[in-house]
Amino acid sequence: MILTEKLIRDHTLAREEYARLLEASGDPEVRSMLSREAVRLRKLYYGDKVFTRGLIEFTNYCKNNCYYCGIRCQNPHAKRYRLNREEILDCCENGYGLGFRTFVLQGGEDPFFTDERMTEIIREIKTRYPDCALTLSIGERSFESYRRFRVAGADRYLLRHETADEAHYRKLHPENLTLANRKRCLRDLKALGYQVGAGFMVGSPGQTSAELAEDLCFLEELQPEMVGIGPFIPHHETPFAEAEAGSVDLTLFLLSVIRILLPKVLLPATTALGTLDPQGREKGLLAGANVVMPNLSPVKNRKQYDLYDNKICTGEEAAECRECLARRVESVGYRLVTERGDAVS
């Protein structure tokens, strides 16, 4: 197929071409050409290394009400928790001992964690673990807040844009959330020198190939260091309870396309991928992913960080998750490494 060759040659396509390519994602020949090229590029820049991030889900309070998400503020059945400073530091200590050199603090948009509280936690983690990278994933904030977190020592920030299409964004989010502000946040984070992660859900209700093409164009424009994508999975207590889940195969296809667009990108094989398919994360690595993010949160809270139904790894200790993932990574010919895992320049 001509488009496949063009993408491999130019590392870019026009929006309409992306949409047409996505329409052909079921074609086994197109799939294998793209995944082969994606793997070639990831090996060129990262060899057989897979980086690992210790994910600390530190609060499931959220002031937002995204229609797809299980911890939305209007889910009265969500059992809310937040970790205190000591509990967060315990997760880091445990993780450091297991070889993690990146910690990801992820949470809902929880007003309890003011700039003051966050900067104190950031400073403490960076003082205790100066050799570790610290990633935040706590949603939309002002430029000034992002600046303060950065000065306190945060290195990276994950904020999926969820969809770059204005009309589709409106179908997934309540009125008070806007794509414009989402994009403003991502640009602010870049300007402040964070390594930035954007990303989107694959197969969110009503999503079209044209909308996914828009996501790819947006990634090209933003040039993020990291991209998180995973299939949409319905949560039984949301307005999308009855919606169909996204496709694992389309997610894998998009992982390959993104690797070709952004050859040096840090690309996780996500938990959502592993939730829909027991071999999903392995398949993700074989499609071009080079990062895994095992959970470091206390086991007693794991189930409560309930973004979607049947989420995996909610019963295992951090050490078990790490071991399990190390085996899975090796089973597909890669190697889980202990290093910060910054993007190559």
Give the residues lining the site for ligand 5AD (CB under 6 A).
Answer: 68-69, 160, 162, 201, 230, 232-233, 235, 272, 307-308
Considering the rule CB under 6 A, would residue 317 count as an interface residue with ligand FES? no
Token digits of residue 286: 């074989």
C-beta atoms surrounding 215 within 10 Å: 26
What single letter denotes the amino acid at residue 44? L
- The span from the CA of 303 to the CA of 291, in Å, is 23
232 makes contact, choosing from ligand FES, ligand 5AD, none, with CB < 5 to 8 Å by partner type, with: ligand 5AD
Token digits of residue 337: 């490494």
Judged by CB under 6 A, which of 192, 324, 332, 343 binds ligand FES? 324
| Beta carbon of residue 273, minimum distance to ligand FES (angstroms, whole number) | 12
Answer for the pair 246, 203: CB distance below 8 angstroms, yes or no.
Answer: yes
- The span from the CA of 193 to the CA of 64, in Å, is 27
Nearer to ligand FES, 158 or 325 (CB): 325
- The span from the CA of 336 to the CA of 97, in Å, is 15
If binding means CB under 6 A, how many residues of this protein chain bind ligand FES?
Answer: 7
Strand locations in 43-123 (E): 49-52, 54-59, 102-107
What separation in angstroms does the CA of 81 have from each of 60, 84, 107, 127, 296?
6, 10, 10, 26, 15
Nearer to ligand 5AD, 139 or 341 (CB): 139
307 makes contact, choosing from ligand 5AD, ligand FES, none, with CB < 5 to 8 Å by partner type, with: ligand 5AD
Answer for the pair 342, 195: CB distance below 8 angstroms, yes or no.
Answer: yes
Give the relative orientation of helices 209-222 and 179-191 as an angle to the nearest 10 degrees: 20
Judged by CB under 6 A, which of 88, 216, 260, 325 binds ligand FES? 325
- The span from the CA of 189 to the CA of 75, in Å, is 30
- The span from the CA of 280 to the CA of 322, in Å, is 16
| Beta carbon of residue 43, minimum distance to ligand 5AD (angstroms, whole number) | 28
Stretch that binds ligand FES, among 74-82, 112-120, 206-214, 317-325 (CB under 6 A): 317-325
Nearer to ligand FES, 197 or 294 (CB): 294
Nearer to ligand 5AD, 42 or 235 (CB): 235
Judged by CB under 6 A, which of 237, 316, 317, 342 binds ligand FES? 316
Site map (CB under 6 A) of ligand FES, residues 265-304, x = contact:
-----------------------------x----------
| C-alpha count within 13 angstroms, C-beta hemisphere, residue 255 | 33
Contact partners, residue 149, CB within 8 Å, separation at least 6:
115, 118, 119, 122, 136, 141, 157
Stretch that binds ligand FES, among 13-21, 177-185, 254-262, 315-323 (CB under 6 A): 315-323
Q: Which residue is nearest to ligand 5AD (CB)?
A: 308
Stretch that binds ligand FES, among 101-109, 172-180, 241-249, 320-328 (CB under 6 A): 320-328
Site of interaction with ligand FES (CB under 6 A): 294, 313, 316, 320-321, 324-325
